[in-house]
Amino acid sequence: MKRRIPQYSELRELVQFKAFDPDRRRARLAKANTVWDLRDIAKRRIPTAAFEYVDGGSFFEHSLRRNRAAFDDVEFNPRVLRDVSAVDLRAKIAGVDAALPVGIAPTGLTRLMHSEGEVAGAQAAGAFGIPFSLSTMGTVSIEEVAREAPDADKWFQLYLWKDRPRSLDLIRRAADAGFGALIVTVDTPVSGARHRDTRNGMTLPPTLTAKTILDASYRPEWWFNFLTTKPLGFANFEADRMSVAESVNTMFDPSLNLDDLAWLRENWSGKLIVKGIQSAADAVDVLARGADTLVVSNHGGRQLDRAPVPLKVLPEIRATVGPEAEIILDSGIMSGGDIVAAIAAGADFTLIGRVYLYGMMAGGRQGVERALEILRTEMTLVMQLIGVTSLSELEPALLRRSAHD
């Protein structure tokens, strides 16, 4: 073998260094190719208690793992020799024309994850043309979200309180602020046992102990933001210092029933979305009481352990309520491929909670936008690779379960 001295021109083409980006947040997020990468960044940058509040489930976390396993077990049945040069990801749900078949789910304690909080989520949603949901347990008020994200399609999520006049005040504030849909969460008559939160001493406001201070001390950006922004709390109502579970069990109503849903229908003129449906029978009941849209969900594995897995019960629910009923799916989604699978299995739309918060923890609004960019890219690629160009072409025939399922 004859050797030679390499030419400088050849080396110059091979050795190209990226220019230094002074925006270190942007540079950090650019390295994330998947939502799992964003999760890794979030875990490094956020105190353990806050990260595990997002990352964990209830009891022994069977539902959390099974939600994820259901998506992992899906196989696509691709079709080839199709023109997939242009893919249309647009969807219509609850009166919203969305650019993508995914919206941001309602999440509590969001400013604990990053000081930009729900405002960052709403602004990112607006930039991507998708709906944003604000939780009753949000850390930014209804009015502030409306003011800071005027162009976003906004939904308000309600936990119905025992104090009905206070609930009525909340939904009237949401209507006055231009929120187009009301999401009623019905799978939380009481809070599930979230053992990670108990071990971490999760309260609101956070209880600072020697352990939590030490844990936060080597995460300086989070610590600085926490100390130099307005105190963390539920922005839409007053609450005493207590654990998150105690907050739920003290304020919310375990006697919630179908008559209450009818009452909400009478008092809300916008779209009514019912979140937490896990059976075909309940789907039929809530549609009969005036719901416009269903969310098939087990609360991301954060309520009942060993709950039905939404992706698995979705086909039965769709077959029961028919093709015209609007169905959203959440719980377990971690990629654009998961969203494509959910639509093919019978959903019209999806919601993301953890994905949104991993992005938030990794980099505020920029992190949320990076998460949405990743999902959009993955959805487009998956649809091209299975031979479809629009959501209307996604159908159960494109899916099959792994042999070991």
Taking only the tens place, the pLDDT of each residue in 67-95 is: 999 999 999 999 999 999 999 999 999 99
> What pLDDT, on a 0 to 100 scale, did the predictor assign at position 4?
80
DSSP structure class, residue 275: E
Secondary structure (DSSP) of 330-354? -SS--SHHHHHHHHHHT-SEEEESH
Per-residue model confidence (pLDDT) at position 190: 83
Residues 6+ apart with CB under 8 A from 60: 305
Question: Mean pLDDT of all residues in the chain?
Answer: 91
Tokens of 175: 């209507």
Q: Is the pLDDT of residue 290 over 80?
A: yes
Taking Cα atoms as reference points, which of 12, 80, 88 lies closest to residue 398?
80
Q: How confident is the model at residue 22 (pLDDT cuts 50, 70, 90)?
A: confident
CA distances in angstroms from 51 to 19, 40, 64, 357, listed in the order given: 32, 11, 15, 9
Asked if 204 contacts 109 with a C-beta cutoff of 8 angstroms, the reply is: yes
User: What would the mean pLDDT of 17-30 be, rounded to a whole number?
Assistant: 84
DSSP state of 178: T
**The pLDDT of residue 244:** 59
Summarize the confidence of residues 194-207 as an average pLDDT.
75
Token pair, residue 358, equals 């991993």
Q: What is the pLDDT of residue 250?
A: 63
Whether residue 314 contacts residue 360, with contact meaning beta carbons closer than 8 Å, is answered with no
Residue with tokens 């505020």: 364
| Those residues with Cβ within 8 angstroms of residue 192's Cβ, 6 or more apart along the chain or in another chain | 58, 59, 299, 302, 303, 304, 305
Look-up of token digits 């990670």: 196
Two tokens, residue 319: 């077959």
Q: How many CB atoms lie within 10 A of CB 224?
A: 11
- pLDDT tens for 300-334 read 999 999 999 999 999 999 999 999 999 999 999 99
**Residue 47 buriedness (CB in 10 A; 0-12 / 13-18 / 19+):** buried
241 token code pair: 């210092």
Neighbour tally for 319: CB within 10 Å: 11
At 247 the pLDDT is: 61
Considering Cα of 253, then 255, then 257, then 261, what sign does the dihedral take?
negative
Query: Does the pLDDT of residue 25 top 90, yes or no?
Result: no
Please report the pLDDT score of residue 243 as a whole number.
57
β-strand pairing of 399-401 with 74-76: antiparallel
pLDDT of residue 164: 85
Mean pLDDT across the stretch 18-23? 80
Q: How far apart are CA 179 and CA 138, in angstroms?
A: 15
Q: pLDDT (tens digit, 9 = 90+) per residue, 221-274? A: 888 888 889 888 888 876 655 555 566 666 677 888 999 999 999 999 999 999
What's the half-sphere exposure (Cβ side, CA atoms, 13 Å) at 39?
12
**What confidence score (pLDDT) does residue 67 get?**
98
Lowest mean pLDDT among 2-11, 163-172, 199-208, 284-293: 199-208
Q: Is the pTM of the predicted complex or chain greater than 0.85? A: yes
User: What's the pLDDT at 56?
Assistant: 95
User: ∠ at Cα 371 (145, 19), nearest 5°?
Assistant: 115
* DSSP symbols for 160-212: PBSSHHHHHHHHHHHHHTT--EEEEE-S-SS----HHHHHHT-EESPPP-HHH
Check if the beta carbon of residue 313 is closer than 8 Å to that of residue 342.
no
User: Which pair of tokens denotes residue 313?
Assistant: 């019960």
Positions annotated as catalytic residues are: 299
- In angstroms, the CA 338 to CA 317 distance is 19
Answer whether residue 393 shows pLDDT above 80. yes
Burial class (CB in 10 A: 0-12, 13-18, 19+), 159: buried
- Work out the average pLDDT over 273-290: 97
- The position carrying tokens 């792994």 is 402
CB-based contacts of 315, cutoff 8 Å, min separation 6: 345, 346, 396
pLDDT of residue 206: 62
